[in-house]
Amino acid sequence: MVAARPYSEGWATRVLVAVPVVALVAIVAGYIAIVQSQGGPAPSDVLTVPFVAAYLLLMAAMLALSLIEQKTIKSLRPALRAAASAGLVALGVLAAFSIGPAIMIAAAFAIAATVISIISARRRATFIGAAIAALLSVGLLAFGLEVVWNIIICPPTGQSSGTTATGINYDCDDGYLTVHYSQ
């Protein structure tokens, strides 16, 4: 005879969480492999790829953490899953023409698990906590992208130019950065 565990999830919900965890790790591995295989000169915004990879792994870690059967973690499940779901949807939209579709598929599974977690909790505070976690996750993504898009590192050889996310024009010439501020 097996005793029922209160507040434990069914296997279907756990699968809905495990699928995006595994998928996100595979997406990150594929993303890094594709970027490294492209060759050519290094881009001037060298921190974007590491940030996106780290953000995806953070979303996978939050989802994996939500699977732990501990009382404090169980109470945080809806918030952890909502944060991961919102972050994945936001990044999936931003990356729509590259790895976005794969991220959106993982996000769909995470959203389904989030909805189940919120519905099973049946407390208004759970929904509020999940909403706050989702906003914080998207805020972290926006802040991180803003930072990495504005850090320019010129490659030691070659020439390139571009515009940062805030509209600042720059030129790289054999490792030297020239910034052109418009008034």
pLDDT digits (tens, 9 = 90+) for 149-179: 888 888 888 888 888 877 788 888 888 888 8
pTM (2 decimals)? 0.87
Domain count, the chain: 2
Residue 125: pLDDT band with limits 50, 70, 90:
confident
Residue 178's φ and ψ, nearest 5 degrees, are -120, 125
Whether 82 is in a domain gets the answer yes
147 and 163 belong to one structural domain: no
> Looking at residues 9-30, what average pLDDT do you find?
94
What would the two tokens of residue 21 be?
Answer: 């965890």
pLDDT surpassing 80 at residue 132: yes
Helices 71-94 and 124-149 cross at an angle (nearest 10°) of 40
Instruction: Say if residue 121 is in the same domain as residue 85.
Output: yes
Structure confidence at residue 160 (pLDDT) = 82
Classify 177 as helix, strand or coil: strand
Contact 95, 103 (CB under 8 A): yes
pLDDT band at 141 (very low <50, low <70, confident <90, very high): very high
User: Are 76 and 163 found together in one domain?
Assistant: no
Give pairs for 163-171: CB < 8 Å, separation 24+. 170/44
User: What's the mean per-residue pLDDT of the chain?
Assistant: 89
Domain identity same for 98 and 164 = no
Residue 143 is encoded by which pair of tokens? 């802040």
Q: Are residues 113 and 168 in the same domain?
A: no
Residue 1, domain member (yes or no):
no
- Above 60 in pLDDT, residue 17? yes
In the numeric block, the tokens 């515009």 are attached to 163
Average pLDDT, integer, range 109-114? 96
Q: What is the 3-state secondary structure (H, E, C) of 68-101?
A: CCCHHHHHHHHHHHHHHHHHHHHHHHHCCCCCHH
Mark whether 83 and 162 lie in a shared domain: no
